[in-house]
Amino acid sequence: MTDIVVKPALYLVDASLYVFRAWHSMPDEFQDADGWPTNAVHGFARFLLELLEKERPQHIAIAFDEALDSCFRNRIYPAYKANRDPAPEELRRQFTHCKALCAALGLNVLAHAEYEADDLIGSALHAMRPRGFRGVIVSADKDLSQLLMEADEQWDFARGIRWGMSGVKARHGVEARQIADYLALSGDAVDNIPGITGIGAKSAAILLAHFDTLDALLARIDEVPFLRLRGAATLALRLREQREHALLWRQLTTIALDAPFEPVEPDFVRVSADAGLLTALSDALRFGPMTRRRLRTAAGLEEAFA
């Protein structure tokens, strides 16, 4: 009988998603010692503590978006994410606090001025696969599903739903490996990626089910009019007209696997917490007794702050 080898898990957290969620959902009554709002930090801290308490990860990286308008995708396509309002200073300050909190808890923090959190997550996972790790991607973002391979899983933490590579098609209508091509065809309004005129989610899934890849589709456009697909002849015309756009959109929707890392611990191992920094942050952010107690426990500190 062959023993089943369980790969160690590398937890990869899409931090910005949870910071923004807290910013929009938490009341604005929370303020730091200087009167700046801290609602996003408080909400993010609750999420982070629940994750650490539930999973007790030994290998973990928390990825933040710093490439708000300086991402390499903006150079390729200046309108990328141009539909989003700039983050206000009240929120930018809280991102800094959230990163500091992660570092104080001994968690590896990933951020880069030219690469998004998705790229940092993808690159970290890509680097760790040869070392025998599987990925647990903590995010509801469908873009990240393109990274899933056997043994990996994605976790929509807020809804308590997990899925692996085989579960992507039931959620999005295409295989995990087709997600970037799918978004290139259908577009992604959240990131201001137009997609191909006339192609929506359903028709993109049908095209990829038949051709498998965007490259094959573009090489065999002559076959499109003969598909059992409403408006197939028009779609073929649009694909011919917008071929270069389709390839451009795929550059935007494909997660980079070669993003550089800031110095992190080997294998993204979680290290000892910094009790002094936790104390300073808890005081500055005015964390209550319960949050302080949970931070002490999560940090594994016998003696911490009051």
Mean pLDDT, the chain, whole residue set: 93
pLDDT of residue 84: 86
Confidence grade of residue 4 (pLDDT, cut at 50, 70, 90): low
Q: Which CATH architecture has domain 9-172+256-299?
A: 3-Layer(aba) Sandwich (3.40)
Cα gap 250→194, rounded to integer Å:
11
Domain ranges of the chain: 9-172+256-299, 176-253
| Res. 225: pLDDT tops 60 | yes
| Res. 38: pLDDT tops 60 | yes
Confidence grade of residue 306 (pLDDT, cut at 50, 70, 90): very low
CATH code, 176-253: 1.10.150.20
Confidence grade of residue 5 (pLDDT, cut at 50, 70, 90): low
pLDDT (tens digit, 9 = 90+) per residue, 88-145? 889 999 999 999 999 999 999 999 999 999 999 999 999 999 999 999 999 999 999 9
pLDDT (tens digit, 9 = 90+) per residue, 49-70? 999 999 999 999 999 998 667 8
Least confident window among 17-26, 201-210, 238-247: 17-26
pLDDT (tens digit, 9 = 90+) per residue, 142-165? 999 999 999 999 999 999 999 999
| Res. 3: pLDDT tops 60 | no
pLDDT of residue 28: 79
**Angle 263-45-268 (CA atoms, 0-180°, nearest 5)?**
25
pLDDT of residue 304: 43
Return the C-alpha torsion angle 205, 177, 77, 110, nearest 10. Answer: 140
More confidently predicted of 68 and 293: 293
